[in-house]
Amino acid sequence: MSSNRSSRLPGFFNLPLEQRLAKVVEVGDLNLEAQAALHGESGLTLEQADHMIENAIGLFSLPLGVAVNFIVNQREVLVPMVIEEPSVVAGASHMAKLARAGGGFTARTTEPEMIAQIQILDVPDLEAASQQLLRHKQELLAKADLVDQAINRLGGGARDLEIRPLHDTPVGPMLVVHLIYDTRDAMGANVVNSVAESLAPTIESLTGGRVHLRILSNLADRRLAHASCRIPAKELAFGQFSGDQVRDGIIEAWAFAVADPYRAATHNKGIMNGVDAVLIATGNDWRAVEAGAHAYAARDGSYTSLSRWWVTKQGALEGTLEMPLAVGTVGGATRVHPAAKACLRLMGVSSARELAEIVVSVGLAQNLAALRALATEGIQRGHMELHARQVAIAAGAHGALIERVARQLIAEGVMILERAQEMVRRWNEE
Ligand code: MEV
C-alpha cells in the first residue's frame, strides 16, 4: 500500500464487490496481475496445486475480504482476510476504526527464532551427556549453520543450544536438545527440520544415546508477537450502552476467560478468527500458529486468555495480545500462490516480522469485537444479516432476490431454509 494512502475507507462496506476491488487496487497501488489474482481470475492453477500436495484433484475457494481502518505502528494498512464466517471482517474493521482514536495498534516482535527438537533415548548418563553436549555447543552450532547458507547470508542461522532432561516419561528418562535457529523471513519449518536431522549423528556420538525424533516445535515461544491498543471509553458507546458500561463489560468478559478454560477456548478462538484469516490469505501455515497459540495459552499450567484488558488512569480501555507467530513472507505457498503474493503486496510488508505485527493486531481487534458484542447486545444480531443472505443463497435466490429474501427472513425472525425456499419459489413466479 502506498505510504500516503489511508486505510480509512468510509462506505467501503456498501460498495458492490467490483467497486470494492477497484478501490483496494487503487489504494493498494496494485498492478493488473495482483488485481486478477485477488479477483479470483488467476488464482492458483491446477498445475500449481498438483505440485503443492499429493493426489490433487482440484481447487477449493473461500471468500477473500479486506479489513479497513487499520493503523499498525503508525502505518495505514489494508488487511486481506480469507474466511467463511460472517461478521469477522466487519468486526475487525470496526474495532480498527475505534482504535484509530488511540493511534491504532502498536506491535512488536522478538527475533524470528525457531526451536528444533532432538529427542535422545537410551542415554547411559543424562548428566554426563548434557555436559558433553554443552562442551561441544559451538561445534554443533557451526554444523547447524552449514545446512542453509542462504539464511546465513541473510543474517539468520543457529543461535543457541539448550538441554532439557525429561526424567519421567512413559518410556523412562530421555534427553531433549533444543537448537535455536533464526529463520529470518521464512516460517522455517523445512530448514529447522533439516538442521535437527543433520545434527543427529554427532549428537548420538557425543551422548552415547539413540536419536529418535528430529522436528521443530510449534510452541515457538522465542518468536513472539505482541500488540496493544488504547480506546477512549467514549468511542465504545453505542445504542443504549454508555462507553463506560461497554468498557467495564469487556473487562468482565475478559476476566471470565482468564479464570475459566471453557470460556478461554472460545475467547481465544475469537482471536484466531482474525489471525487465521490473514494467515490463510498470505499462504501461511495456520495450523502451526494455532498449535503454538493454544500451547502458549497453557504455558503456566492452566489454559487461559491470550489477551489482557484493563482500564487506564484516564478511564480508557487498553488491551494487549501476545502469542507465538511463526509466519513467513518467503518460501512455501506465500511465494507460489498468486493471491497470497498479491495479499502480501497489498499490506506492503517487507519482512515476516512486519507481517506478524499486523496479524497480532488483527487478533487483538477481533478479540475486542467479540467481547464488545458479547458484553452488550450479543453476537447473534450482527450475524443475522449475513446469515440471512447465506440462507437465501442456499435456498436458490439470485441477484436482487437475495436481499429481498434475507430482509424478509430477518423481519420474520426465522432462519429456516424451507421458509426461504418458499419465498424464492413464490417470488420467482411473480
Ligand atoms: C465466534 O466465531 C467467535 C466468538 O465466539 C469469540 C468469543 O466468544 O469471544 C464470538
> What CATH number is associated with residue 364?
3.90.770.10
**Atom 7 of ligand 1, nearest CA residue:** 267
What is the number of structural domains in the chain?
Answer: 3
Q: Are residues 126 and 205 in the same domain?
A: yes
* In-domain check, residue 233: yes
**What is the pLDDT confidence band of residue 2, given thresholds at 50, 70 and 90?**
low
Do 164 and 206 share a domain, yes or no?
Answer: yes
288 CA from centroid of ligand 1 (Å)? 21
Phi, psi of 335 (to 5 degrees): -105, 0
Backbone angles phi, psi at 30, to 5 degrees: -95, 150
Residue from 85, 162, 252, 412 carrying the catalytic annotation: 85
383 is catalytic: yes
The pTM score is: 0.92
Structural domain contains residue 130: yes
For residues 77 and 92, the answer to whether their CB atoms sit within 8 Å is no
Q: How confident is the model at residue 4, as a pLDDT?
A: 58
Is 328 found in the same domain as 275? yes
Which residues are paired to 374 by β-bridges?
A: none
What atom in ligand 1 is closest to the CA of residue 371?
Answer: 9
| Ligand 1 center–CA 51 separation, angstroms | 36
Percent of the residues in the chain that have a pLDDT greater than 70, as a whole number: 99
pLDDT for 334 = 79
Q: What is the DSSP string of 298-356?
A: TTTSS---SEEEEE-TTS-EEEEEEEE----SBSGGGGT-HHHHHHHHHHT--SHHHHH
Query: What CATH number is associated with residue 166?
Result: 3.30.70.420
Q: Is the pLDDT confidence value at 402 over 70?
A: yes
Average pLDDT, the chain: 95
**Is the distance from the beta carbon of residue 196 to the nearest atom of ligand 1 less than 6 Å?**
no
Kindly state the cell numbers that stand for 351.
519482512
Instruction: Look at residue 6 and tell me if it is in a domain.
Output: no
Predicted pLDDT of residue 343: 96
In a domain, 3, yes or no: no
Host domain of residue 340: 12-108+224-373
Between the CA of 269 and the centroid of ligand 1 the distance, in Å, is 6
Which pLDDT score, from 0 to 100, does residue 5 have? 83
Phi first, then psi: give them for residue 290, nearest 5 degrees: -55, -50
Strands (E) in 170-283, as ranges, are 174-182, 210-216, 224-231
Three cell numbers written together for 225: 508477537
Structure confidence by residue, pLDDT tens digits, 274-293 = 999 999 999 999 999 999 99
Residues 207 and 257 in one domain: no
> Looking at the domain assignment, is residue 17 inside a domain?
yes
Rg (alpha carbons) of the chain, rounded to whole number: 25
What pLDDT shows up at residue 1?
58
DSSP letter at 186? Answer: B
How does pLDDT run across 347-383, given as a tens digit for each residue?
Answer: 999 899 999 999 999 999 999 999 999 999 887 776 7
Query: 269 catalytic, yes or no?
Result: yes
Residue-wise pLDDT tens digits, 37-56:
999 877 889 999 999 999 99
- Residue 4 resides in a domain: no
On whether both 205 and 254 belong to a single domain, the answer is no
Q: Would the pLDDT of 3 be above 80?
A: no
Is residue 91 located within the same domain as residue 231? Answer: yes
Average pLDDT of span 116-143: 98
Judgement on whether residues 338 and 386 belong to the same structural domain of the protein: no
Q: Residue 1 domain-assigned?
A: no
State whether 159 and 259 are in the same domain.
Answer: no
Residues 263 and 410 in one domain: no
5 in a structural domain: no
Q: Of 217, 244, 265, which residue constitutes the final position of a domain?
A: 217
Within this chain, do residues 96 and 233 fall inside the same structural domain, yes or no? yes
Last residue of a domain, one of 200, 217, 234: 217
Residues 202 and 130 in one domain: yes
**Whether residues 163 and 256 fall in one domain:** no
